[in-house]
């Protein structure tokens, strides 16, 4: 008989999700932009504190696509980003005719390397995308300075970063634009969902128009205009009120969810750091306040990574690898380019695995994961 599987992730119902969904279903407003959407956006704006505008979207991919539209890219413009990220980071800008320029990561955190960003800037560069991998904040002081010096738009791909902070500030509050994910795989989820944060007030009015399918409908609903018109390009970015209702219940429990994940993350770090010479453990900067999104190890090579995954699977534990670096993928080669050799990205692509981490992971199962991990590492 197979051992019961300790899954990598298990999304949960944590509060008033079903109650709020029933409320949404009993109204005449089930499409986007209703009261639940407004309450979610107000929660995000309150958490970020910096005065940015939040726009709930159907996904983080949609939020990134809005960001690309707001950036005003033209064919051939370049956008610098890490290669070690999900395809949506690049797709959003390729759709606008831009060229993703892939740069290397910091091996301590798997986040974009500022020195590599600076070296990749050309006269065609228009934007930088900082991906907060695993909720570890990028070096935002350095990236903000580079963006300012070179008059570039800084965009945060904060898909994995809800409730995480850098130097005391919430991730998502640094760049002109930021995108969050509420996919089932994320700490706070609504099945599918996302949000665009607009921190640059000069972009907020246009963002609202793009969000409303390119119309000034929101201004009409506020009685600021007597009719609404097609004003700009746009799309149907809004999620339904049912999705927003589920998300609101999760946001209301965000602190509790995050605390539970941080506790498991800290236990892994405490127990596995002694094995850092065998498998590299995360080393976030001291000013990172983590959200416990991912706990990863980087094995020395692909063969040992694959052996680790197979061995843990035999123990009934799911420990998946993560991204195939975009610069080595068929579409990455077709639509983008690597600015230079990316040794740390290649190393992560070959060796990184992720351990199970979700709030409902029991103490017994956490101990099993740790013990099995140590056994696998000791036998390498």
Q: What is the CATH number of the domain that holds 272?
A: 3.90.1150.10
Whether residue 351 has pLDDT greater than 90? yes
Average pLDDT, the chain: 96
Instruction: Calculate mean pLDDT across residues 88-100.
Output: 98
Residues 120 and 340: beta-carbon distance below 8 Å = yes
**In this structure, are 263 and 193 located in the same domain?**
no
CATH code for the domain of 230: 3.40.640.10
Provide the pLDDT for residue 375. 97
Output the pLDDT for position 334: 98
Cα 247 to Cα 50, 61, 171, 287, distances in angstroms: 22, 17, 19, 29
Q: What domain range includes position 265?
A: 254-378
Question: Where residue 377 falls among pLDDT bands split at 50, 70, 90?
Answer: very high
What is the average per-residue pLDDT within 187-199? 97
41 pLDDT band (50/70/90 cuts)?
very high
Within-domain flag for 116: yes
Give me the half-sphere count of Cα atoms (radius 13 Å) on the Cβ side of residue 196. Answer: 29
> Among the three residues 252, 272, 293, which one is the final residue of a domain in this structure?
252
Q: pLDDT band at 219, cuts 50/70/90?
A: confident
Residue 193 lies in a domain: yes
Do residues 66 and 201 share a domain?
Answer: yes
209 in a domain, yes or no? yes
Distance set, CA 304 to CA 274, 300, 308, 356 (Å):
19, 7, 6, 19
Q: Quote the number of domains for the chain.
A: 2
- In the chain, % of residues over pLDDT 90: 91
Looking at the predicted structure, is the pLDDT value of residue 1 above 50?
no
Averaged over 301-326, what is the pLDDT?
Answer: 97
pLDDT at 226 over 90: no
**pLDDT tens, 262-294?**
999 999 999 999 999 999 999 999 999 999 999
């Amino acid at each position: 008989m197979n051992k019961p599987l300790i899954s990598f992730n298990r999304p949960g119902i944590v509060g008033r999700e079903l109650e709020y969904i029933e409320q949404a279903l009993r109204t005449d407003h089930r499409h986007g932009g209703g009261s639940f959407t407004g309450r979610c956006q107000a929660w995000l704006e309150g958490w970020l504190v910096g005065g940015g505008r939040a726009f709930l979207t159907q996904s983080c991919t949609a939020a990134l696509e809005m960001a690309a539209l707001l950036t005003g890219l033209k064919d051939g413009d370049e956008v610098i980003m890490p290669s070690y990220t999900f395809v949506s980071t690049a797709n959003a800008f390729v759709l606008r005719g831009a060229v993703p320029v892939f740069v290397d990561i910091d091996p301590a955190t798997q986040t974009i390397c500022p020195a590599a960003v600076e070296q990749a800037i050309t006269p065609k560069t228009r934007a930088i995308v900082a991906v907060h991998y695993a909720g570890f904040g990028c070096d935002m002081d350095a990236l903000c300075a580079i963006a300012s010096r070179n008059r570039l738009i800084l965009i945060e791909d904060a898909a994995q970063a809800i409730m995480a902070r850098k130097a005391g500030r919430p991730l998502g509050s640094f760049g002109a634009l930021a995108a969050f994910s509420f996919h089932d795989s994320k700490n706070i989820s609504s099945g599918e969902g996302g949000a665009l944060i607009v921190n640059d007030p000069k972009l907020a009015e246009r963002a609202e128009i793009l969000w409303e399918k390119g119309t000034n409908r929101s201004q009409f609903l506020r009685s600021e205009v007597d009719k609404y018109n097609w004003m700009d390009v746009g799309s149907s970015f809004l999620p339904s009120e049912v999705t927003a209702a589920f998300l609101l219940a999760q946001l209301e429990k965000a602190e509790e969810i995050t605390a539970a994940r941080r506790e498991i993350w800290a236990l892994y770090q405490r127990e596995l750091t002694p094995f850092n010479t065998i498998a590299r453990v995360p080393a976030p900067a001291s000013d990172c306040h983590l959200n416990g999104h991912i706990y990863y190890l980087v094995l020395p090579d692909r063969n040992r990574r694959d052996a680790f995954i197979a061995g843990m699977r035999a123990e009934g534990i799911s420990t998946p690898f993560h991204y195939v670096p975009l610069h080595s993928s068929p579409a990455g080669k077709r639509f983008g380019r690597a600015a230079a050799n990316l040794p740390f990205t290649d190393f992560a692509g070959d060796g990184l695995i992720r351990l199970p981490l979700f709030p409902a992971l029991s103490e017994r199962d956490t101990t099993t994961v740790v013990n099995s991990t140590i056994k696998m590492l000791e036998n390498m």
